[in-house]
């Protein structure tokens, strides 16, 4: 009867460094004899033998070691035998990574002197202990590197180890402005302040064949990295992954900035307003997108348009009414809204400028939504326990969890539609003066200009329809 046992293809490996040549116990001939005899006794098939004479074990940069690794990756080896563990490598990190590679490719590993055999419990325990030491090595190294980087940042020395877009890094680590790239850094800031979003800026850079430092294409994330990078105003900024944002180190650097501080600060305010929902995120020219709020439910009004007889009409509708049907406020045309805004803006009309009762109504709805989310978490936890204890069938559990997660998504979207904290930085007198100056010219402006003005001047405009009459109930300036 033909044997069904798999024939194991085994390889041996030996290494000596120059100072070990005279040591008979470490000689290549002795290692080869031990390794080949072990393979023969196990009745394995010798698939290859690898030797690196005169090479240190401090790393894996050895000719036959590279050839061995390639054979393993090509799945030509089932077992590897060495005379002693340090013949493979003296570096614990490399050793641990090699053992992970053996596990990935199901390689049986044997070290004769230490009696390590990964098929035995003792061998597997050794691999486990090695993992602990390797983790300690990595964490200790990481801590030392972090200490060094923190010290550099406090001295105003950049922790930049490759060229940063807009700068060239000297061998000493100094940042020198690269004028060809710096003009595109300035262009990115200008475009953002002109109302373009990061996806649009990235697309235009790629269309113009402007590449990042290493030739990569631009993305929304990479554009935002530029806009938020303190290095571009001549500062040094750094924090470790474990640090909180308030622990970030910011120092004046020794390099020259590309962007002036005023422009940089203005961009940061605009970024934060977009994140807080106070600026429109879409590319359409809805002047009041992200600014207009419902005075009844606190939800955000969304811009929509319709076409009739070749004429485009712009309107705004409460998102809570459109998506969740939880509000009964009707839509409002942009024409009516603009006329109402200009009519309402008056320094004598102080009751419009964001009152506490408006904030309280919004906070009340926020509390309700958060309580609903918390209740959902508690329900899901009970269902998980019931399913785990065998008191709920899987189909019932799966159906309930799916429906509840959809409900949570809707609640979180609704929560994100509520206004955030209102902190006005513009003087109302200044805003009203600007609006009065442009009132007569409003209808002749480009829609993109209208949007930029409203988004820059207003943080929130609350509207409410009382019976048949619309009115503005609260205004928060940017």
Active-site residue numbers? 17
d(CA 458, CA 88): 67
Q: Record the tokens describing residue 90, joined without a space.
A: 């003296």
- Whole-angstrom Cα distance, residue 279 to residue 386? 45
Distances (CA, A) of 293 to 278, 316, 414: 10, 10, 13
Q: Which two tokens stand for residue 327?
A: 């509000």
From the CB of residue 230, how many other CB atoms can be counted at a distance below 10 Å? 18
Burial of 394 per CB tally in 10 Å (0-12, 13-18, 19+): exposed
Q: Which residues partner with 462 through β-bridges? A: 293, 474
* Contact predicate 287/450, CB 8 Å: yes
Judge whether 168 and 252 are in contact, CB under 8 Å. Answer: no
Beta strand pairing call for 249-252 and 235-238:
antiparallel
Neighbouring-strand partners of residue 15:
52
CB 5 within 8 A of CB 78: no
């Amino acid at each position: 009867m033909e044997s069904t046992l798999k024939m194991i293809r085994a390889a041996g490996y030996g290494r000596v460094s120059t100072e070990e040549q005279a040591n008979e116990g470490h000689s290549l001939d002795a290692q080869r004899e031990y390794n080949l005899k072990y393979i023969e006794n196990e009745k394995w098939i010798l698939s290859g033998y690898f030797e690196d004479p005169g090479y240190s074990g401090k790393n894996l940069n050895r000719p036959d070691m590279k050839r061995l690794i390639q054979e393993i990756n090509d799945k030509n080896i089932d077992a590897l035998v060495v005379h002693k563990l340090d013949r493979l490598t003296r570096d614990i990190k490399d050793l641990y990574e090699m053992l992970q590679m053996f596990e990935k490719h199901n390689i049986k590993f044997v070290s004769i002197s230490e009696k390590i055999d990964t098929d035995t419990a003792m061998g597997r325990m050794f691999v486990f202990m090695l993992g602990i030491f390797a983790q300690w090595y990595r964490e200790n190294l990481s801590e030392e590197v972090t200490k060094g980087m923190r010290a550099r940042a406090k001295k105003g020395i950049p922790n930049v180890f490759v060229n940063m877009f807009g700068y060239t890094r000297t061998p000493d680590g100094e940042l020198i402005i690269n004028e060809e790239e710096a003009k595109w850094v300035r262009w990115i800031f200008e475009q953002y302040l002109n109302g373009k979003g990061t996806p649009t800026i990235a697309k235009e850079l790629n269309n113009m064949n402007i590449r990042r430092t290493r030739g990569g294409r631009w993305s929304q994330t990479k554009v935002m990295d530029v806009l938020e990078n303190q290095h571009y105003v001549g500062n040094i900024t750094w924090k470790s992954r474990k640090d909180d944002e308030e622990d970030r180190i910011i120092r004046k650097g020794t390099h020259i900035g590309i962007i002036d501080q005023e422009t940089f600060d203005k961009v940061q305010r605009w970024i934060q307003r977009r994140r807080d929902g106070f600026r429109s995120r879409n590319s359409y020219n809805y002047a009041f997108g992200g600014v207009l709020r419902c005075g009844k439910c606190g939800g955000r009004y969304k811009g929509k348009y319709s076409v009739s007889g070749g004429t485009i009409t712009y309107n705004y509708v409460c998102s809570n009414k459109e998506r969740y049907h939880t509000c009964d406020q009707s839509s409002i045309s942009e024409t009516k809204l603009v006329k109402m805004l200009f009519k309402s803006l008056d320094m004598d009309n102080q009751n419009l400028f964001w009152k506490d009762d408006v904030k309280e109504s919004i906070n009340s709805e926020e509390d309700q939504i958060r309580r609903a989310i918390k209740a959902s978490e508690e329900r899901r936890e009970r269902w998980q326990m019931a399913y785990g204890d065998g008191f709920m069938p899987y189909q019932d559990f799966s159906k309930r969890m799916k429906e509840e997660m959809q409900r949570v998504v809707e609640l979180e979207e609704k929560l994100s539609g509520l206004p955030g904290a209102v902190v006005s930085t513009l003087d109302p007198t200044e805003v009203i003066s600007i609006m009065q100056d442009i009132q007569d010219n409003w209808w002749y402006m480009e829609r993109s200009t209208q949007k930029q003005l409203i988004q820059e001047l207003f943080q929130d405009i609350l509207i409410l329809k009382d019976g048949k009459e619309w009115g503005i109930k609260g205004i928060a300036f940017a």
